[in-house]
C-alpha cells in the first residue's frame, strides 16, 4: 500500500489538443486542362521550323492534366504552432531535492516547471501528430522519480484533426406569386313598360380564394333597345349600367337601368361587368447548400433566403460524429449546438455563421 506521501494526479489540462495551424491542403481539380494559348498571343521566341509530317502510330491515351489549387495560398511555417501548455494538478508531485518530473509524448521528453501542487510542461505541437480528418488519441507518460523506484502516470490526450468536418444547410422557403384572371358576368336584362323606368340590381361574390381587383373593373352596356308604336328605335332608351354599393365586403354590385326618353316609349337595357380576379398563390421550394467544409480559421457563412420558414442543419464532425438540427424563422439560435462548433446570426439576423472552435469542449 502506498504511503501518505505517494504522488497523486488530480487533473490535467488540456484534455483536447488544438489542431495544427500549419496544416495546408492541396486540392486537385480533375478533368481540368490549361487553356490553349491564343493565336494572337505575343511570342516570346522565334518560331521553330515545323518538321515534315511522317506516319506514326496512333498516340497512346494521354493522361488528363489537372490544375492544382492550393489552400491556403500562403503556407505557414512549420514552427508557427505554439507549444501545448500542459498543467498537471496533484499532490506530492515533486520530491524536494530530487530530479524534476519528466513528461514523455511520443519521441519528445521534457522536464517540468514545478509550482506548488502543479507541474507545467511546454510540449511542441508536433509531438502529438494529427490526422487530417479524425481525432487521434495520444498517451503521455509522466515519470516521477522516487527512490528507489519511478512512479508513472498515463495521461490521455485527444488530438483534434486538421479539418473539423463539413455541413449542409437546407431551407424551406415559402414565397407568394401573384395570379390573375378575368371574370365576365352573365348578361342582365332590365325591361321597362311604356313611360316607366326600371332598375335591376345584382351582386356577385368572387370565387373562393380569389378577390376582385378594385383598380381593374368596368361595366359594359351590351345593348339598349327602345320602341314606340311598335317601331324600334334605340335612341328612345336613356338607360345605363352602373356600379352600385356592395351589400357585403368584397362583392361587386351593378345596376342595369332602362329609362325612356319620351313618354310612351318602352325600353330594355342589357348590361354586364368585367373584372380582374386576383389571388396570392403560395409556392414552396427547398434550397440546399450542398456539402460545405468547416474550417478552424475561417467561419462558414450561409445567407437565410427571403421567405425562409424552416431550416435544417446537418453537421458531420471529425468524419464520424453526425448531428441534425432544425429551426424556424424568427426563433433564436443557441450559441453552441454541438461541441467544437459555434453558431451565430449576423447581418441583422440574415446570415447564419458557423465557426469551428477548439475551445468549445464537451
Radius of gyration, CA atoms only, the chain = 43
CATH 3.30.70 fits 176-281, yes or no: no
CB of 302 within 8 A of CB of 350?
Answer: no
Which residue spans of the chain are classified as CATH 2.60.40.10?
Answer: 1-23+72-162
Here the cell at position 127 is 509531438
Helix, strand or coil, per DSSP, at residue 357? coil
- Rounded Cα distance, 263 and 178, in Å: 51
Give residue 58's pLDDT: 45
Give residue 356's pLDDT: 94
Give residue 332's pLDDT: 72
Q: What is the pLDDT of residues 314-335, one digit of tens each?
A: 999 999 999 998 888 877 776 5
- Rounded Cα distance, 212 and 232, in Å: 38
Contacts of 52 (CB under 8 A, 6+ apart): none
Q: What is the mean pLDDT of the chain?
A: 84
**Virtual CA dihedral for 253, 258, 259, 262, nearest 10 degrees?**
170
- Rounded Cα distance, 194 and 196, in Å: 6
Q: What is the pLDDT of residues 51-109, one digit of tens each?
A: 454 444 544 444 434 444 445 555 555 457 899 999 999 988 887 777 889 999 999 99
Count other Cβ atoms within 10 Å, centred on residue 213: 13
pLDDT band at 362 (very low <50, low <70, confident <90, very high): confident
> Which fold is adopted by the domain 1-23+72-162?
Immunoglobulin-like (2.60.40)
Amino acid at each position: 500500500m502506498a504511503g501518505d506521501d505517494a504522488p497523486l494526479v488530480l487533473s490535467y489540462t488540456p484534455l483536447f489538443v488544438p489542431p495544427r495551424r500549419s496544416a495546408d491542403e492541396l486540392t486537385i481539380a480533375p478533368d481540368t486542362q490549361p487553356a490553349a494559348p491564343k493565336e494572337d498571343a505575343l511570342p516570346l521566341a522565334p518560331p521553330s521550323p515545323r518538321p515534315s509530317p511522317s506516319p506514326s502510330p496512333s498516340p497512346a491515351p494521354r493522361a488528363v492534366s489537372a490544375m492544382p489549387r492550393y489552400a491556403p495560398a500562403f503556407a505557414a511555417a512549420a514552427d508557427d504552432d505554439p507549444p501545448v501548455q500542459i498543467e498537471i494538478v496533484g499532490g506530492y508531485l515533486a520530491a524536494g531535492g530530487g530530479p524534476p518530473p519528466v513528461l514523455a509524448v511520443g519521441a519528445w521528453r521534457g522536464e517540468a516547471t514545478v509550482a506548488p501542487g502543479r507541474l507545467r510542461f511546454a510540449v511542441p505541437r508536433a509531438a502529438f501528430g494529427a490526422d487530417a480528418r479524425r481525432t487521434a488519441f495520444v498517451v503521455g507518460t509522466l515519470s516521477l522519480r522516487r527512490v528507489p523506484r519511478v512512479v508513472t502516470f498515463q495521461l490521455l490526450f485527444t488530438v483534434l484533426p486538421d479539418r473539423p468536418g463539413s455541413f449542409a444547410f437546407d431551407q424551406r422557403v415559402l414565397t407568394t406569386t401573384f395570379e390573375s384572371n378575368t371574370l365576365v358576368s352573365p348578361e342582365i336584362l332590365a325591361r321597362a313598360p311604356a313611360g316607366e323606368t326600371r332598375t335591376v340590381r345584382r351582386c356577385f361574390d368572387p370565387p373562393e380564394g380569389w378577390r376582385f381587383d378594385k383598380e381593374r373593373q368596368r361595366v359594359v352596356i351590351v345593348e339598349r333597345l327602345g320602341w314606340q308604336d311598335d317601331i324600334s328605335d334605340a335612341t328612345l332608351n336613356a338607360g345605363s349600367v352602373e356600379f352600385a354599393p356592395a351589400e357585403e365586403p368584397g362583392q361587386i354590385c351593378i345596376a342595369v337601368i332602362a329609362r325612356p326618353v319620351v313618354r310612351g316609349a318602352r325600353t330594355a337595357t342589357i348590361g354586364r361587368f368585367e373584372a380582374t380576379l386576383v389571388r396570392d398563390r403560395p409556392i414552396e421550394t427547398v434550397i440546399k447548400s450542398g456539402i460545405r467544409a468547416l474550417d478552424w480559421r475561417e467561419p462558414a457563412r450561409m445567407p437565410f433566403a427571403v421567405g425562409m420558414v424552416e431550416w435544417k442543419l446537418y453537421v458531420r464532425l471529425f468524419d464520424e460524429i453526425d448531428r441534425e438540427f432544425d429551426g424556424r424563422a424568427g426563433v433564436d439560435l443557441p450559441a453552441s449546438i454541438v461541441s467544437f462548433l459555434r453558431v451565430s446570426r449576423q447581418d441583422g439576423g440574415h446570415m447564419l455563421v458557423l465557426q469551428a472552435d477548439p475551445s468549445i469542449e464537451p
